[in-house]
Structure 1
Amino acid sequence: MSEFVFAPSHHVPFRDKEAIERCRRITRDQIEQHANPDYRIKVIPNAEVPWIGVTDMLGRIKRSAEEGRRLVMILPNPNPGYRHVARLINALQLDCRNVWGFAMDEYADEDGRIAPDTWKYGFVHSLKSGFWGNIDPALRPPEKQFLGPTDENIDSYGKMIEDLGGADVIYLGPGWTGHLAFIEPDAPEFDAPLDEWKQMGTRIVTLSPYTLAQNSLHGSFGMSGDLAAVPPKAATIGPAEVIAARHRISRHAITVHGTHTSWQRMITRLVTHGPVTPRLPESLLQTLRSDIYISETAAANIEPDFEKGY
């Protein structure tokens, strides 16, 4: 059989063929190994991954209540797991007066206008209705302590977190492009050498076409590939906010509704074992104290199955 060799499409943000092939060959048994002891990778059963965030968050909230200490979290959205955190808070009667939750990103329109928290498809709406709104009124913090980027605060959003003493934790997970939050590898607003890129903070960015495709499969947009339903831009934290957080927890477990199909299987390998580069934004975590939880499905070997179609 003759070999057919080609370069990745110019549309693909990361195109280093040697690094791609090396990461593609990483097996389930090898994926937990990493040279940085502070970058801790653990493969766990699929069903356990959603509970990693729930249990970690609840523990931090409980300690905050007991110690009377401020807790600042940077949070991803939408996340159905938040209602479980709220139920446990209510059951344990945890006082959340010292809890602050910052949405890591929010959609914006073609002119960079950020979606209001009343837009039912938005991330801040999800955060407030799914998390803050499910906490008993006697226990929940003031609404001003659960917030996201807006047209008015986008330029100072990072400083708002900094002024509270910085984020104690940020919860993450790589997108199809390797983005974290909406720090896209192919966004012109984040086009900079690594050292300069690391210092970049909150801003409005152009979303990658791959992110539009990824998010069009989300439940909030009908799970139907409706590309036009996903806004073209977004407000997002930057690498500076990720680096400044005291701890990072990243979960890799996205499948197509519980099947073995996972677009995350390859990008997981690239961001955990590929080069640290703005072309793979979540690769930044390899240099920082981070806990990475990978589902068995995402960790599975990459190999063809000619009996399957899409």
Structure 2
Amino acid sequence: MRIIRTKDYEDMSARAADVIAAEVILKPDCVLGLATGSTPIGAYERLVERYRAGELDFSQVISYNLDEYRGLAHDDPQSYHYFMEQYLFSHVNIDPANTHVPDGANEDVEEATAGYDAQVAAAGYPDLQLLGIGNNGHIGFNEPDAAFSKGTYCVNLTESTIEANSRLFESADDVPRQAYTMGIGTIMRAKRVLVIANGEKKAQAVHDMIYGPITPSCPASVLQLHPDAIVIADEAALALCE
């Protein structure tokens, strides 16, 4: 696991954008695994800037997002499909047909999850998978559990995750209680994994991911076993990793 220490969120975002941009330049038809939440917004903004400057071409890029709230349609302003349109897809020349997000509006769990897994597998899995990390060590929506998950599945969100995400809703009561997420097994099949983290609230999770025992009680710890994992985090997030 390669650790890149950055000064702050802006520096973290720039370095993460560097890694993603390099993937697109070196392999124009690359498969990107993408993440949502507040952490990757800065990186997406920098990718948009580079596209507008003529430095990047997304026309052949294929993307697969990690997760989506169950019960939300693609056009729901709180959906992750909407998020990706807002912060990246609508600002670059990626083909909408090449962008994929789990179908939160599909109430048939088996169809929604197995179908998405089949799509990701048919694409050969991501060349680069972008990940954030939750305060409890979750990646995607893979919450602490008794065992590592395998393929895409429906997860019941923990109260800590609901509370953390409630800032994006009017209240915690409005946050969906379930989500479709790529499982740990699917994430680990990505050729390269890039984890980004910032802020002191992530310090314990980042420490446990890098140095703690490999355990499903900290899902991100499994990344210690990935052959090509990069962690880009600011000083606050790495405070316990001295």
TM range (shorter): 0.7 to 0.9
Letter in 1 for 2:126: A
Structure 1, residues 105-132: CA drift from partner, whole Å, max 9, x if none? 1112xxxx3x211011111111123211
The 2-side partners of 1:184 and 1:159 are apart by 22
How far did 1:278 drift? 0.9
2:159 matches 1:213? no
The 1-side partners of 2:216 and 2:240 are apart by 26
8 Å contact 2:23–2:128 — kept in the other structure? no
8 Å contact 1:181–1:237 — kept in the other structure? yes
2:177 matches 1:232? yes
Q: Which residue of 2 aligns with 1:145?
A: 98
The 2-side partners of 1:48 and 1:296 are apart by 10
3-state secondary structure, aligned to 1:177: coil
Q: Which residue of 2 aligns with 1:59?
A: 22
Structure 1, residues 266-301: CA drift from partner, whole Å, max 9, x if none? 121112111101111000101112111221112225
> Could you list the runs of 5+ residues in structure 2 that have no partner in the other structure?
none
Q: Report the count of equivalent residues.
A: 230
3-state secondary structure, aligned to 1:144: helix
2:41 matches 1:80? yes
Structure 1, residues 5-41: CA drift from partner, whole Å, max 9, x if none? xxxxxxxxxxxxxxxxxxxxxxxxxxxxxxxxxx112
How far did 1:93 drift? 5.8
- With the length of structure 1 as denominator, give the TM-score of the two structures: 0.69
Letter in 1 for 2:164: Q
How far did 1:58 drift? 1.6
| Residue number among 84, 87, 93 corresponding to 1:130 in the alignment | 87
How far did 1:208 drift? 0.7
> Could you list the runs of 5+ residues in structure 1 that have no partner in the other structure?
1-38, 256-261, 303-310
The 2-side partners of 1:301 and 1:169 are apart by 27
| Residue number among 186, 193, 207 corresponding to 1:269 in the alignment | 207
- With the length of structure 2 as denominator, give the TM-score of the two structures: 0.88
The 1-side partners of 2:237 and 2:139 are apart by 17
| Residue number among 160, 174, 177 corresponding to 2:119 in the alignment | 160
Between structure 1 and structure 2, the one with the greater Rg is 1
The 2-side partners of 1:277 and 1:156 are apart by 28
8 Å contact 2:207–2:240 — kept in the other structure? no
2:154 matches 1:204? yes
8 Å contact 2:69–2:179 — kept in the other structure? yes
| Residue number among 182, 188, 211 corresponding to 2:141 in the alignment | 182
Structure 1, residues 218-242: CA drift from partner, whole Å, max 9, x if none? xx336xxx32131111110001111
The 2-side partners of 1:85 and 1:131 are apart by 8
8 Å contact 1:104–1:237 — kept in the other structure? yes
Between the aligned residues of both structures, percent identity stands at: 23
8 Å contact 1:169–1:249 — kept in the other structure? yes
Letter in 2 for 1:282: A
2:63 matches 1:101? yes
| CA RMSD after TM alignment | 1.9
